[in-house]
Amino acid sequence: MLAAMFFKLLAVPFLAATHVFAAQNSLQQVTNFGSNPTNVGMYVYRPTGLAAKPALIVAIHYCSGTAQAYFSGTQYANLADSLKNFLVIYPNAPDSGGCWDVHTAATLTHNAGGDSLGIASMIRYAIANYAVDAARVYVTGTSSGAMMTNVLAGAYPDLFVAGSAWAGVPYSCFSGAGMWNSACATGTISKTGQQWGDLVRSGYPGYTGARPKMQIWHGTQDEILNYNNHGEGIKQWTNVFGYSSTPVSTQTNNPLSGWTRNTYGPNFQAISAPTTHNIPVQANEVLTWFGLIGGTSGTSTTLPPTTTATSTTVIPTTTPTQTPGGPSQVQYGQCGGNGWTGPTVCQSPFSCKVLNAYYHQVS
């Protein structure tokens, strides 16, 4: 009942003006970019001095988040400024709770509709208008954004080279149950690898091309999307790539102390972290997996590690009290709301503003 009250779709008005070419060094909205049946918002960040034929990262926010919050709360824009070899698209969910459609048959199927088609249209637009290298398009996201990362990898494998999903669920795990699927969220849905793999293959019937390589991350103490989903995701992607469910290598304390990286083959990794749902995103690790910075995933990279936490709750419960002396939240990060279990104290000089009952933001 609570979930049903929380997750209601909102039709965002479609803006008439179009930014034909997004300005550099600022987050710019782009409209009229192609087929977009659910009115997903498109926001683009292009660093100055961007290389010719740049790569593209699609960075997808968490439930109750926004494109602006993910832009400010992750390091992808800063890394784009430093590296100048990629630009970033930050989609904005049209749902009133800021969550992504990862459950309808339309969004789970190639070119059939839903939020996924709007994001696919953004990519096609960027390739046509920003000289993006179509062979270097990548997708990443957190929580609901991680779910959409899996959806896009299944329904649009022709558009992506690689994906990195942080605290999500397998492709099609939320299928048919509405915006919230308690069975999937609590980790009670279990399928064979073949069944999970068949679901991915059903996203684009008849597709025989290459699949984007995948990397999934999950907190062992995840209280929102149960850690069992990590194991189900491993079943899914090892089946898709034809790998054994036994990793070919295991690295402990990698990339951080207490974290464990299991590699199943060149196209799939699964990393466990001793965290709750609010897993701190390691943006440099994502870029290494994508091949946009040097080294190989699991080794040190050319840039210092980033650990910005951006994940958020996806179902209302109660608001806890912040422990004195605990961590503080950065600007545009979540700092409260029903179900929030992360920091409620903001970094100076910012304060916590109530946006709605479920999402308070540092601003």
More confident residue, 192 or 317: 192
Task: Give me the pLDDT at residue 189, please.
Answer: 98
Residues 6+ apart with CB under 8 A from 83: 287, 292, 293
Task: Give me the pLDDT at residue 348, please.
Answer: 79
Sign of the C-alpha dihedral, residues 245, 237, 218, 252? positive
3-state helix/strand/coil string of 257-305: CCCEEEEEECCEEEEEECCCCCCEECHHHHHHHHCCCCCCECECCCCCC
Quick one: what percent of the chain has pLDDT higher than 70?
77
Q: Binning pLDDT at 50, 70 and 90, where does residue 321 land?
A: very low
Q: Which of 118-132, 198-212, 228-242, 348-362 has the lowest mean pLDDT?
A: 348-362
Secondary structure class of 171 (helix, strand, coil)? coil
Task: Give me the pLDDT at residue 167, please.
Answer: 98
Quick one: what percent of the chain has pLDDT higher than 90?
72
Residues 6+ apart with CB under 8 A from 322: 343, 344, 345
Quote the mean pLDDT of the chain. 84
The pair of three-digit structure tokens given for residue 323, joined into one six-digit string: 């422990």
Query: Which residue carries 């740049």 as its tokens?
Result: 54
Taking the C-alpha atoms of residue 258 and residue 359, their distance in angstroms, rounded to an integer, is 30
pLDDT greater than 50 at residue 97: yes
Q: Concatenate the DSSP letters of all residues of 77-113 into one string.
A: HHHHHHH-SEEEEEEE--BTTS----SSTTTTSTTS-
The one-letter amino acid code at 3 reads: A
| Cα 60-165-116 angle, rounded to 5 deg | 45
What is the pLDDT averaged over residues 305-330? 38
Taking the C-alpha atoms of residue 256 and residue 218, their distance in angstroms, rounded to an integer, is 13
Task: Give me the pLDDT at residue 178, please.
Answer: 85
What is the pLDDT averaged over residues 163-180? 95
Q: Binning pLDDT at 50, 70 and 90, where does residue 359 land?
A: very low
| Listed ranges 56-60, 95-99, 308-312, 314-318; the one with the highest mean pLDDT | 56-60
What is the pLDDT averaged over residues 230-238? 98
pLDDT greater than 60 at residue 13: no
Q: Using one digit for the tens of pLDDT, what is the confidence trace for 325-355?
A: 456 765 555 567 544 556 788 877 778 876 5
Q: What is the DSSP letter of 43?
A: E
Contact 44, 31 (CB under 8 A): no
| First-last CA distance in the chain | 31
Q: Binning pLDDT at 50, 70 and 90, where does residue 99 land?
A: very high
Kindly report the number of other CB atoms within 10 A of residue 178's CB atom.
12
Task: Give me the pLDDT at residue 331, please.
Answer: 54
Q: Binning pLDDT at 50, 70 and 90, where does residue 51 land?
A: very high
Q: Which of 117, 257, 268 is nearest to 197 (CA)?
A: 268
CATH topology of domain 28-290: Rossmann fold (3.40.50)
Reported pTM:
0.78
pLDDT greater than 70 at residue 360: no
Task: Give me the pLDDT at residue 346, please.
Answer: 80
pLDDT greater than 90 at residue 281: yes
pLDDT greater than 60 at residue 295: no
Q: Using one digit for the tens of pLDDT, what is the confidence trace for 27-48?
A: 999 999 999 999 999 999 999 9
Task: Give me the pLDDT at residue 190, please.
Answer: 98
Residues with catalytic function = 143
pLDDT greater than 70 at residue 314: no
**298 phi-psi bin (left φ>0, alpha ψ -120 to 50, beta other):** left
pLDDT greater than 70 at residue 16: no
Q: Concatenate the DSSP letters of all residues of 147-158 into one string.
A: HHHHHHHHH-TT
CATH 3.40.50.1820 domain span(s) along the chain = 28-290
Q: Binning pLDDT at 50, 70 and 90, where does residue 294 land?
A: confident
Task: Give me the pLDDT at residue 26, please.
Answer: 84
Task: Give me the pLDDT at residue 350, please.
Answer: 75
